[in-house]
C-alpha cells in the first residue's frame, strides 16, 4: 500500500511539473502603446503633430509611414507609404516619440504607423481629416464626383464641415432645374464629427434635370455658411447624365451663382436695416 501511494504521488508530481526549458524559446512581447494626433481636423497646409507612447530615448525609430485615403478609396486597400524621417521633425523623449507632418491634400483622411527598433509598432486608430477651404463643405458623393439619382428614389445626401456650429441644425433646401422657390426645405442635426445626413425624396414623374441642394449652417466664425451642390436626376437609373455634362454644369453653375447673389443681397439688406 505504501509503495502504491508513493508511485501515485510520483506520477502526479511528474504530470504537474513544468519542464525547465518550457519557456526558454518564448520571445519577449514588444511593448504596446498608442499613436495619436494632437488635432484630428485640419486644412491643407496645416501642420499635424503625432505622439507615440513607444520608442523612447535609447530606441531607434525604424520607419514612419502614412496612408492617404482619397474620395472613393477604401482605407483597407490603400498602402502605407514611408516618410522621410529627416523631414518630419522626429523627436524622442523618456516616454515615447513624436513627429510632425504637413497636410498636403484637401478632402483626404490620413493614417499613420510608427515602427521601432525594439519590435513595437503603433498605428493611429482615428484618422486626421483634411478639410477643404473655409466656406466649402465636403460633399460625400454617392457616385464618383457627383450626386446622382433617379425619379422615384431617395437620395442619401451627406456633407461634413469643420466650420459649422454643431449645436445648431443645418437648413437644407432643394431647388428645381429652373430655380425659383425651393421645392423642399428641411432641417437636419449635426453629428459630433461635423457631418449632416439627410434623405431627399425624388418622386416618380419628377422632371429630368440638374437640381441644386443648398445647405446653410451657423458658423463659429461668421453669421452663417451656405454651400450648394448639383444633383443629377433622370427618369431611370439607366439614364443618368454623363459626369461633366456641359449643359448640366452650366445650369448648376447659374443656379448656384443666382443663389449666392440672393444671399449677398439679403445680407446687405439686413445690415442696412440694422444700421
Query: Could you list the mean pLDDT of each consecutive 10-residue stretch along the chain, which spans 275 residues?
Result: 47 43 45 91 97 98 98 92 98 98 97 97 97 94 93 95 94 94 95 94 92 93 88 72 42 44 42 42
Number of domains in the chain: 2
Which residue is listed with cell 482619397? Answer: 70
Cα–Cα distance, 264 to 134 (Å, whole number): 17
Which residue is listed with cell 512581447? Answer: 29
For residue 200, give its domain range. 138-263
What is the domain-level CATH number for residue 242? 2.60.40.1220
Cα–Cα distance, 39 to 97 (Å, whole number): 17
Q: What pLDDT does residue 244 have? A: 40
pTM of the model: 0.72
Cα–Cα distance, 92 to 56 (Å, whole number): 5
Q: What pLDDT does residue 29 have? A: 54
Which residue is listed with cell 453669421? Answer: 223
| Same domain, residue pair 145 and 118 | no
Where does a domain end: 103, 131, 159?
131
| Same domain, residue pair 86 and 71 | yes
Cα–Cα distance, 27 to 25 (Å, whole number): 6
What is the domain-level CATH number for residue 79? 2.60.40.10
Q: What pLDDT does residue 182 have? A: 95
| Same domain, residue pair 143 and 255 | yes
Residue 273 falls inside a structural domain: no
| Same domain, residue pair 47 and 90 | yes
Residue 44 falls inside a structural domain: yes
Cα–Cα distance, 139 to 146 (Å, whole number): 9
| Same domain, residue pair 88 and 39 | yes
Backbone angles phi, psi at 226, to 5 degrees: -125, 135
Cβ-in-10-Å burial (0-12, 13-18, 19+) of 130 comes to buried
| Same domain, residue pair 120 and 183 | no
Q: What pLDDT does residue 240 have? A: 53
| Same domain, residue pair 154 and 259 | yes
Residue 3 falls inside a structural domain: no
Across the strands, what pairs with 90?
none
Cα–Cα distance, 148 to 241 (Å, whole number): 9
Contacts for 269 with CB less than 8 Å, ≥ 6 apart: none
| Same domain, residue pair 142 and 257 | yes
Where does a domain end: 131, 149, 170?
131
The CA distances from residue 183 to 40, 175, 179, 214, in Å, are 37, 6, 9, 11
Q: What is the 3-state secondary structure (H, E, C) of 158-193?
A: EEECCCECCCCCEEEEEEECCEEEEEEEEEECECCC
Helices in the chain by DSSP H: which ranges?
2-16, 246-274
Where does a domain end: 100, 131, 162?
131
Amino acid at each position: 500500500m505504501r509503495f502504491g501511494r508513493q508511485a501515485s504521488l510520483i506520477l502526479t508530481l511528474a504530470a504537474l511539473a513544468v519542464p525547465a526549458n518550457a519557456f526558454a524559446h518564448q520571445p519577449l512581447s514588444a511593448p504596446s502603446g498608442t499613436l495619436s494626433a494632437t488635432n484630428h481636423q485640419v486644412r491643407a497646409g496645416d501642420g499635424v503633430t503625432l505622439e507615440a507612447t513607444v520608442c523612447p530615448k535609447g530606441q531607434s525609430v525604424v520607419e514612419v509611414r502614412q496612408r492617404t485615403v482619397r474620395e472613393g478609396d477604401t482605407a483597407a486597400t490603400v498602402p502605407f507609404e514611408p516618410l522621410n524621417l529627416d523631414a518630419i521633425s522626429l523627436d524622442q523623449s523618456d516616454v515615447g516619440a513624436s513627429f510632425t507632418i504637413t497636410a498636403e491634400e484637401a478632402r483626404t483622411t490620413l493614417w499613420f504607423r510608427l515602427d521601432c527598433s525594439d519590435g513595437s509598432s503603433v498605428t493611429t486608430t482615428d484618422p486626421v481629416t483634411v478639410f477643404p477651404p473655409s466656406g466649402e463643405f465636403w460633399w460625400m458623393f454617392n457616385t464618383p464626383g457627383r450626386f446622382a439619382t433617379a425619379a422615384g428614389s431617395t437620395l442619401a445626401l451627406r456633407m461634413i464641415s469643420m466650420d459649422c456650429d454643431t449645436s445648431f441644425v443645418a437648413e437644407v433646401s432643394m431647388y428645381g432645374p429652373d430655380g425659383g422657390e425651393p421645392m423642399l426645405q428641411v432641417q437636419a442635426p449635426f453629428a459630433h464629427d461635423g457631418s449632416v445626413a439627410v434623405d431627399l425624396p425624388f418622386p416618380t414623374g419628377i422632371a429630368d434635370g440638374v437640381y441644386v441642394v443648398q445647405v446653410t449652417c451657423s458658423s463659429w466664425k461668421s453669421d452663417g455658411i451656405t454651400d450648394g451642390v448639383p444633383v443629377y436626376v433622370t427618369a431611370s437609373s439607366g439614364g443618368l447624365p454623363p459626369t461633366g455634362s456641359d449643359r448640366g454644369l452650366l445650369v448648376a453653375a447659374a443656379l448656384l451663382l443666382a443663389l449666392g447673389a440672393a444671399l449677398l443681397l439679403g445680407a446687405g439688406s439686413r445690415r442696412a436695416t440694422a444700421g
